[in-house]
Amino acid sequence: MSARNATKAPGVRDTGEWDVPATSIYLDSSALVKLYVPEPESDRLEAFLRSHSSLLISELAVTEVLSAVARRRREGLLNATQAYEIRDALLEDASSGAFRRLDLEPMTHRAAERLLFSVESLSLRTLDALHVALALSASATHIGTYDMRMRAAATHAGLKVIEVP
């Protein structure tokens, strides 16, 4: 599931059908990036997710992760070879069925807009609202995030936030 150790996630049956258990976890870009770019929490998150079979990502999160990888390349934290290996691993995993992929639809935008208007005490950003709306559109029960605003928005919307031991 990572550029370091690319394997198929356990949520894919040999038949190619998506296994949807009682717990499904939507990964936002702050969690997804940790599966491809070594960070302090990367190993713990990857180990935790291996025991879960229904992992959801969005095309939005893929684009955000690739933006972060490109930024790290520009900043000299990754060389070109590393950046392209990470990009290729993420795109291959996204296409292989390792994750259930979600697209932004007009009704997802409307749900995000309702969320933006429903919170008065949170400083909710557009992309955070879109990620939460995507998770809700796929009936996710949990969200994986390392972003405090996203965590608050997800909790407000009734999602449980995964706590990685």
CATH number at residue 130: 3.40.50.1010
Cα separations (Å) of 19 from 14, 33, 98, 137?
Answer: 10, 23, 11, 17
* pLDDT confidence band for 22 (50 / 70 / 90): low
Residue environment code for 5-21, b if the CB has 16+ CB neighbours within 10 A, otherwise e: ebeebbbbeeeeebeee
Instruction: Specify the number of domains making up the chain.
Output: 1
Q: Is residue 8 part of a domain?
A: no
Q: Is residue 71 part of a domain?
A: yes
Sequence-distant (6+) residues with CB within 8 A of 158 are 136
Question: Dihedral, CA atoms, 119, 120, 121, 122, nearest 10 degrees?
Answer: 40
Note down the domain range covering 60.
25-161
Q: Is residue 18 part of a domain?
A: no
Calculate mean pLDDT across residues 100-116.
94
Calculate mean pLDDT across residues 35-48.
92
Q: Is residue 11 part of a domain?
A: no
Q: Count the alpha carbons within 13 Å of 7 in the hemisphere toward its beta carbon.
A: 8
* pLDDT confidence band for 76 (50 / 70 / 90): very high
Q: Is residue 3 part of a domain?
A: no
Q: Is residue 105 part of a domain?
A: yes
The pLDDT of residue 8: 31
- Name the token pair of 112: 């995000």
Q: At what angle do helices 126-137 and 106-118 cross, to 10 degrees?
A: 120
Which helix H or strand E contains 84, and what residues bound it? helix 80-96
